[in-house]
Amino acid sequence: DSGVTQTPKHLITATGQRVTLRCSPRSGDLSVYWYQQSLDQGLQFLIQYYNGEERAKGNILERFSAQQFPDLHSELNLSSLELGDSALYFCASSITSGSTDTQYFGPGTRLTVL
Amino acid sequence: GEDVEQSLFLSVREGDSSVINCTYTDSSSTYLYWYKQEPGAGLQLLTYIFSNMDMKQDQRLTVLLNKKDKHLSLRIADTQTGDSAIYFCAEGVTGGGNKLTFGTGTQLKVEL
């Protein structure tokens, strides 16, 4: 158990809908990262937050957004969902945002868009 | 740019050593990581190596880094059936945040 929690574990929804994925980092960690794992794209970095501020952005679609709250939990919002958004979404956390910080991953949320 | 490549599949017999290879392109990598993903599970950090090191040993795991060739390997000694999983190498790159770039993953199958 990495100490990173994600809810829900599974999510099934329809095209065009909007969903919110939630992540709680390890105790004491200030940075939260979101990654998407899909069959065709592999594991891709989406976005990083550090202490409430966006720190780095990767291949995140405009239909997706994220935020980190004062209690350091984070939410990833996915809107106007398409079939291709079906994937496993991982959250990770680290102590700070430094390049030497190890990232610990949560168990993931499996999103299925029908 | 960043690109991390791995072979897709490796099959070994129980008790043998496994060697999983990875090549990366970004010379500004600071740390290189190995993660393990079992079916239906998340990513488990196995080990990591700082980019100015050549080797790191951690129990049954040995990481070798050839920085000149940008080649990373993970050796698992005395491979067990419980080691069957997908193994991802990842590089951590400096410059704005701390994102990880992952390889495609190598599926390790351990046979009796």
Taking the C-alpha atoms of residue B66 and residue A63, their distance in angstroms, rounded to an integer, is: 40
Tell me how many degrees the CA angle A108-B7-B40 measures, rounded to the nearest 5.
20
Distance from CA of A64 to the nearest CA of B (A): 18
pLDDT, tens digit (0-9, with 9 covering 90-100), for A33-67: 999 999 888 899 999 999 999 999 998 999 999 99
Across chain A, how many H-helices and E-strands are there?
A: 0, 11
Looking at the complex, does the CB of residue A70 fall below 8 Å from at least one CB of chain B? no
Q: Per-residue pLDDT tens for A71-100? A: 999 999 999 999 999 999 999 999 977 767
Q: What percent of chain A has pLDDT over 90?
A: 84
- Which chain A residues have a beta carbon less than 8 Å from that of B35? 105
CB contact A30 to B (< 8 Å): no
Of all residues in chain A, the one with the smallest CA distance to B51 is: A100
pLDDT value, residue B2: 62
Closest CA to A50 of A33, A64, A66, A62: A33
State whether B100 and A103 contact (CB < 8 Å): yes
In contact, B73 and B64? CB cutoff 8 Å: yes
Under-70 pLDDT residues of chain B: 1-2, 29, 94-97
Report the distance separating Cα B109 and Cα B83, nearest Å.
8
Interchain contact, A90 vs B105, CB within 8 Å: no
Contact B42 A104 (CB under 8 A): no
Beta strand B61-66 with B71-76 is: antiparallel
CB A54 within 8 A of CB A11: no
Q: Looking at residue A99, what is its pLDDT?
A: 64
Taking the CA atoms of B23, B25, B31 and B37 in sequence, report the sign of the dihedral they define.
negative
- Best residue in A10, A32, A34, A43 to probe B by mutation, most B CBs within 10 Å? A43
What does the DSSP assignment read for A45-82? EEEEEETTEEEEE-S--TTEEEEE-TTS-EEEEE-S--
From chain B, the residues in CB contact with A45 under 8 A are: 99-101
Sign of torsion, CA A95 A46 A59 A88? Answer: positive
pLDDT value, residue B15? 97
Give me the pLDDT at residue B39, please: 85
What is the rounded distance in angstroms from the CA atom of residue A23 to the CA atom of residue A16? 23
Give the pLDDT of residue B93.
72
A16: left (phi over 0), alpha (psi -120 to 50) or beta: left
Q: Encode A67-80: b = buried (16+ Cβ within 10 Å), e = exposed.
A: ebeeebebbbebee
| pLDDT at A41 (0 to 100) | 85
